[in-house]
Structure 1
Amino acid sequence: MTQEDRRAAAIADIIARTGIDEAMIDHLVRAFYGRIRDDALLGPVFAARIVDWEPHLQRMSAFWSSVALMSGRYHGQPMEKHLPLPVDARHFDRWLAVFVETARDVCPPVAADHFIERAQRIAQSLELGIAAQNGLLLAKGQRLQRPDADVFLPDTSFAEAEHLA
C-alpha cells in the first residue's frame, strides 16, 4: 500500500466515523471566523493582521482539512505566524471557547468532538510556543500570563469583555 493509499484510507475512515467532509470544514471555518471578527477580545487582533479575509478563510479551510481529515492540503507554518501576536492564555481560552461553541452549533456531535479535541491541542501548542519565544518555559498545567501592556486587550477590562461576549 502506497503512502497515498494509506492517506486515502485514513481520510475515508475519518469521514465514515465523523461525517466530516470539506463542505463541513468550510462551513465551520466561516462560521467560526465570523464570530471571531465580532469578538471584543479577538476581533481586533485578527483585524490588525488580516485585510482580505477570503484568502485567510481558504487557508484555514485547508489547515482544518489537514488537521481533521489528514488531507495534507495545508502547507504552512502556523507557529511562525502566531509567535509575534500580542496574546496570552486569556486569548487562547477565548479562541477555544468560541471554537467549541461554533463547532457544537454547526457540526453533528461526533464531528464537533473530533474538531474540538484537535483545537485543544492546537491552542495548547501555540500557547507553549509563544511562551517559549518569550523566554518562558511553562511547566505542565502552567499558562502563559503576560503583562497587560504586552498583549492586546479591549478598552474594557477582560472580565467586562467576557461579559459582553
Structure 2
Amino acid sequence: MQNPIPEPNLSLYSEEEISRLVHDFYAKARKDPDLGPIFEEHVIDWDAHFVQMTNFWSAQLRGTSRFRGAPMPKHIALPELNADLFRRWLHLFRETTQEIGNPGLKRHADTVAGFIAGRLWMGYQMSHFPQQQPIELDIETA
C-alpha cells in the first residue's frame, strides 16, 4: 500500500515559506469568528506558539527535527470541539497554502494537514465519546 503522505524533503520548500505559512494561517485563524476565540483563549504566548508551529510544519514538510511536542493531548484537552471546527481549520489552511504560490508546497502541506485534522478529530472523539463509534472527518468539504 502506498503511503498517502509525501515524504518530507529539505529541498522543496524553504524555511521562509514554512514561516510564512504559519504566520499567514494564524493571522486568518485569529480573525475567524469560530476559530479565533478558541486560539485566543488557549494560546498564552503567541511568539512561542509561532516558533512551535513553525518547527512542527518544518518537521512535517522538510523533515527537520526541531519540533518537540505532543499535539494530540493538547487538542483532546480543549472543550467542545467538533467536526465543523476541524473542517474550518482545514479550509483556512488550504486557503493559506494557495496564497503562498508554491504548488508543491500546497499539495504536500494540504495532504499532511488533512491527515492531521482527521487524526486529531478521531482522537478527540475517542477520548470524549468513548461509547460512540468515531466518525471520519469529511475533509473534502473543508
- Both proteins in one fold, TM over 0.5: yes
- Asked if 1:126 is matched to 2:120, the reply is yes
Counterpart pick for 1:33 among 26, 36, 39: 26
Given the two structures, how large is their TM-score scaled by the length of structure 2? 0.84
Amino acid aligned to 2:60: V
- Asked if 1:111 is matched to 2:109, the reply is no
Counterpart pick for 2:93 among 93, 99, 105: 99
Query: Could you list the runs of 5+ residues in structure 2 that have no partner in the other structure?
Result: 1-6
Secondary structure, in 3 states, of the residue corresponding to 1:41? coil
Question: What residue in structure 2 maps to residue 5 of structure 1?
Answer: none
Question: What residue in structure 1 maps to residue 54 of structure 2?
Answer: 61
Whole-angstrom CA distance in 2 between matches of 1:50 and 1:23? 23
- Asked if 1:78 is matched to 2:57, the reply is no
Q: CA RMSD in A?
A: 1.7
Query: Deviation above 3 Å: which 4+ runs of structure 1?
Result: none
Count of matched residue positions in the alignment of Structure 1 and Structure 2: 129
Query: Could you list the runs of 5+ residues in structure 1 that have no partner in the other structure?
Result: 1-9, 144-165
Paired residues for 1:118-157 under 5 Å: 118-134=112-128, 135=130, 136-139=132-135, 141=136
Deviations 1:11-41 (A, max 9, x none): 6xx244xx31211100100000000000000
- Asked if 1:47 is matched to 2:40, the reply is yes
The percentage of counterpart residues that share the same residue type is: 32
Secondary structure, in 3 states, of the residue corresponding to 1:48? helix
